Amino acid sequence: MSSKTKTNSCGSLTKMLFGLPIKWLIGFETMRPRLTLLKVGYKKYMERFKSQRYHPAKACLCIGSAAKVGKHRADGIEGEYRKMKTVSYNANGIRARLPLLLEWMRSQMPDILCIQETKVQDKDFPQAPFEEIGYHCAFKGQKSFNGVAIFSRVTPNKVQMGFDGNGEDEGPRLISAYFSGVTVINTYIPQGQSPDSEKFAYKLEWYQRLHDYFARNFSPDDPLIWVGDFNVAPQSIDVYDPKALLGSCCYHPEEHKALAKLMAWGFTDVYRHHRPEEKQYTFWDYRIPNAFKRGLGWRIDHICATQNLIKTSKDAWIDTAPRLLPKPSDHTFILAEFDVAV
């Protein structure tokens, strides 16, 4: 078939679907998936659109996600996929960070955003503003401490909280969302206070419990993304002064051992996979004067994935700009992009 015939064919099909010539459609943001429509047919496209359960009130945003459907993954394997931007962020109080967070989400349009330290009871969670910009909200919190949430542009098939799944056992520190093609686990791991404290022992025990949780519920062959505030800087490049800080909480050999055991189960650090020598941080202590401007940071927030998703990961990076905005968290956003099977 000649290119001219193909063009006429596409134009005819477009007229049949919409009653408009194709040149009229170019530039309409709400018609961005037109190539997908021509490719898979109107009926099949609508079935996919409905099955993904996009937010019905935000057609433009929803269509933007659907338009990411393609035929080649990052590793070259053929099959239908969509690009998925996944983000982790310790908000240190979601209500205090609400204006910053909403503006950042409108700008960056993440597919999945995992939050730690929401510090709010479920009955007081600010759900409506996120739903208004097209996000499904899953959360488990408590008053003044801890709290986790997952915002997604697609409604998850299932959400579980805590080690037990129903939120009774460490629910405000662990939440999992099951989507078609990927499961996302968001954790806020205990800080540990100091190596000689009971809280440090509790932290190491928590890491062991998390290892057992993964071993009990998943396989390393599953498409898993594990994110959150791990409260551990894994390597010397991840802290501003590795010699002075070695042995302190969040950069201690026992913590490194606990994290390494969990990573060995089947996870890879997506950021280090793409940026093996880059020295960037995600946390700067409020208590240190001008810590951000002086570069006195830690990389303790992470996005990890099992091997089959590492193969399809496209990039990972840290957005430090929000740390300079009014009323920032002491953390900032870490992001990764994957090709995920539809």
- Give the sign of the dihedral formed by CA 285, CA 288, CA 293, CA 296: negative
Taking 3-state DSSP, the helix, strand and coil percentages for the chain, each rounded to the nearest 5, stand at: 40, 25, 35
Q: What is the DSSP letter of 249?
A: T
Written as six digits, the tokens of 286 are 């409020």
Chain position carrying tokens 């962020």: 89
Catalytic residue among 45, 135, 229, 269: 229
Catalytic residue among 135, 188, 207, 271: 188
Alpha-carbon span 190 to 173, nearest angstrom? 8
Alpha-carbon span 329 to 325, nearest angstrom? 9
Each residue of 132-142: b (16+ CB within 10 Å) or e?
eebbbbbbbbe
- Give the sign of the dihedral formed by CA 185, CA 190, CA 195, CA 198: negative
Q: Is residue 285 among the annotated active site residues?
A: no
Alpha-carbon span 170 to 166, nearest angstrom? 10
Q: What is the DSSP letter of 307?
A: H
* Alpha-carbon dihedral angle through residues 271, 277, 280, 281, given to the nearest 10 degrees: 70
Q: Is residue 229 among the annotated active site residues?
A: yes
Q: What is the DSSP letter of 251?
A: B
Alpha-carbon span 101 to 120, nearest angstrom? 16
DSSP 145-209: S--EEEEESB--SEEEETTTBBSTTTGGGEEEEEETTEEEEEEE----S-TTSHHHHHHHHHHHH
Give catalytic residue positions: 188, 229
